[in-house]
């Protein structure tokens, strides 16, 4: 457990009863994410990056911009946050999860994230957010253990199963 998680747990003790449930009833904001794998079989790895604010391990994800669909946003976010160029595998999102985005000065937001599997085409050394994040490839089981959101863990498991069957 990292320092941020300990602090978050402590702060959660002071939340008003029912606050999280109220937030979960609001209409969620849409985001898009990418699960990028390399290798195969027992050698298969998943790319994780650190979040900017908390340095937690996550997959590349972000807001869907005007004129984009979810797949296009996943490709763009993967480039901006991780320096990878890829293409979305056919079939639409592999899964979806929800989380509460804590936004400091603004109220927290419930986000619903569609996750797409990206086929890795190229990895570059220079990318837009290289000074703000770390990127690292992990064996899939290790990556699942490092991710905090249970919903994302489940989507990663499903994506890995789909890749093994392909």
pLDDT digit string, tens, across residues 8-62: 655 655 655 555 556 556 688 999 999 999 998 878 999 999 998 889 999 999 9
139, 44 Cβ separation under 8 angstroms: yes
- Per residue in 103-136, pLDDT (tens digit) is 777 778 889 999 999 999 999 999 999 999 999 9
- Flag whether pLDDT at 95 surpasses 80: yes
In the predicted model, what is the mean pLDDT of the chain?
88
Contacts of 29 (CB under 8 A, 6+ apart): 63, 101, 109, 110, 111, 112
Q: How far apart are CA 141 and CA 157, in angstroms?
A: 9
39, 109 Cβ separation under 8 angstroms: no
What CATH architecture does domain 27-165 belong to? Answer: Alpha-Beta Complex (3.90)
Q: How far apart are CA 51 and CA 57, in angstroms?
A: 6
36 SS3 class: strand
Q: Is the dihedral of CA 11, 153, 136, 120 positive or negative?
A: negative
User: Per the confidence metrics, is the pTM higher than 0.85?
Assistant: no
Name the residues annotated as catalytic. 80
Q: How far apart are CA 35 and CA 31, in angstroms?
A: 14
């Amino acid at each position: 457990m990292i320092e941020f998680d300990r602090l978050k747990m402590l702060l959660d003790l002071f939340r008003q009863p029912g606050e999280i449930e109220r937030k979960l009833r609001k209409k969620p904001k849409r985001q898009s994410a990418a699960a990028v794998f390399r290798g195969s079989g027992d050698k298969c790895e998943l790319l994780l990056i650190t979040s900017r604010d908390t340095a937690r391990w996550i997959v590349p994800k972000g807001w869907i911009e005007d004129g984009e669909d979810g797949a296009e946003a996943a490709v763009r976010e993967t480039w901006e946050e991780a320096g990878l160029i890829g293409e979305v595998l056919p079939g639409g999102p592999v899964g979806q999860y929800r989380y509460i985005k804590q936004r400091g000065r603004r109220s927290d937001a419930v986000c619903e994230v569609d996750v797409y599997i990206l086929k890795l085409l190229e990895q570059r050394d220079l990318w837009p957010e290289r000074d703000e994040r770390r990127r690292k490839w992990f064996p899939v089981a290790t990556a699942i253990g490092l991710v905090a959101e249970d919903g994302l863990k489940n989507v990663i498991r499903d994506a890995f199963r789909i890749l093994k069957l392909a």
